[in-house]
Amino acid sequence: MRPYFEPLEKKAVELGAAKAKLIETGQIVFDPRSFLKCRFGCNRWGKFWTCPPNMSISRELFMEAFARYRWGLVIQTTTPKGGQSVALAVEKEAMLSFNCSYPLALVLCVECDECAFPNPCNFPHLARPSMDAYGMDIGKTIEPLGFKVEFDKDGKLLPAWYGMVLLD
């Protein structure tokens, strides 16, 4: 089945990704400590519709749905906006050209300069949760693919953003 989705790797790069690689969902690493990093290390906590604790889908329901996916396409971009754009385009391509019934992009939502929260989302059709919002360990998931999360000496994330599209 992997070769069936391989054209999506190329498509992601054509759309602006620096790199894109397929991964079996069994290789995706979850770690509940990612919630601690969200809560005590991210200024988005509680201020965005797509970030904990404001997501309306519980972790348990997400994991139940996740168990039905077989592949993920990890997408590396140089900007969060580029990441969102590429991931959403790949999600749509997977549905239209690859007969995926429920592809799901997991990517940092940056559609608005400032999230409308607590008012209704201005772009609910574009809003998606990030990979770590439901407990994915991004670093451990992407390292076997040759990707790496890197920080500068001040602890600021270097310009490599990661998203994923889950494929059924």
Long-range contacts of 91-94 (CB under 8 A, 24+ apart): 91/165, 93/8, 93/11, 94/5, 94/8, 94/165, 94/167
Query: Containing H/E element for 138?
Result: helix 138-142
* Confidence (pLDDT) at 117: 95
Tell me the whole-structure pTM to 2 decimals: 0.92
Residue 129 predicted with pLDDT over 80: yes
pLDDT at 1 over 60: no
**Please, what sign has the CA dihedral across residues 3, 74, 72, 121?**
negative
Q: Which amino acid is at 44?
A: R
Name the residue with higher pLDDT: 149 or 70. Answer: 70
Residue with tokens 């970030």: 51
> Across residues 76-102, what is the average pLDDT?
94
Residue 154 has pLDDT above 90, yes or no: no
* pLDDT tens for each residue of 90-122: 999 999 999 999 999 999 899 998 999 999 999
Alpha-carbon distance of 7 to 107, in angstroms, equals 20
pLDDT at position 2: 60
SS3 of the chain: helix, strand, coil, percent, to 5: 40, 15, 45
pLDDT digits (tens, 9 = 90+) for 5-58: 999 999 999 999 999 999 999 999 999 998 888 888 888 999 999 999 998 899
Using a 10 angstrom Cβ sphere, with 0-12 exposed, 13-18 middle and 19 or more buried, the burial of residue 2 is: exposed
Q: Nearest to residue 133, comparing CAs of 62, 28, 74?
A: 62
